[in-house]
Amino acid sequence: MKIASWNVNSLKVRLEQVLQWLEHHQPDVLGLQETKLTNDKFPADAFAELGYHVAFSGQPTYNGVALITKTALADPVTDIPDFDDEQRRVIAATCGPVRVINLYVVNGKEVGSDKYDYKLSWLEAVTRWIEEEIKRHPKLVVMGDFNIAPDDRDVYDPEAWHEKILCSTQERQALEKILALGLHDSFRLFDQPEAVYSWWDYRAAMFRRGLGLRIDLVLCSDALKPGCEASYIDKEPRKLERPSDHAPAVAEFAL
């Protein structure tokens, strides 16, 4: 079972790139973030033509998440329980034998800001939700744009990013609390080359210079860990004309 996460930074702009990627790679599940579309504008028919089912939760201009799956989705959820939030940042559903949670984690803007505090409280609420989900669904994947680089291996210049947004101690501790529920960063289950990233700022030719952060993750539960056969970042879409600033993060499982 191939499961992928991709922040597309506007599905309207990058629909053809996503459709071509689906046709070429044939994932069983693709989670999208930053679709930036209201639900009435979501191009469900385009995915149906490729044989995919969809579930989505959107809003104009910002945020928006979706699940694109080969099998019909069951029990979809589009809100964090007991957390009042208008922003469309989460979607979960059961896809065959696996429960999938797709997250677009709050960026936080700047350490110490109101948006940073919101990020930390949002992560606390998500952690409580995941804790309940993993009790009901031992075969669980939590994926998405986490807007957190797990450790210094995931940052092109750890000294420059030290205690900055995406790399601060409190953000990393929040991610560790999620992992402590019984989840594993699939990418780190394997020997990986150095300097592998999933996001590169559009500015200053950061992608061409290889200066990025790995903030797009596919986490798998204890029950799925033994069957994880591969985990990688597909940089090819980042080379396209008018690309997203993120590349897909992919994990493959034998179920």
Element (H, E) at 249: strand 249-253
Q: How far is CA 235 from CA 58, 59, 68, 92, 208, in A?
A: 26, 28, 20, 26, 11
Is-catalytic flag, 116?
A: no
The separation between the first and the last C-alpha atoms of the chain, rounded to the nearest angstrom, is: 7
- The number of CA neighbours under 13 Å toward the Cβ of 105 is 30
Out of 52, 104, 116, 232, pick the active-site residue. Answer: 104
CB of 218 closer than 8 Å to CB of 3: yes
Q: How far is CA 96 from CA 1, 100, 226, in A?
A: 10, 10, 18
- What residues contact residue 11 under an 8 Å CB cut-off, 6+ apart? 18, 32, 35, 36, 37, 42, 43, 64, 66
Alpha-helical (H) ranges within the chain are 11-25, 44-48, 114-136, 158-161, 169-179
Name the catalytic one among 28, 52, 116, 145. 145
Q: Has 151 been annotated as catalytic?
A: no
Here the tokens at position 66 are: 């979706």
Kindly state the tokens that stand for 109. Answer: 């803007």
Catalytic residues, which ones?
Answer: 104, 145
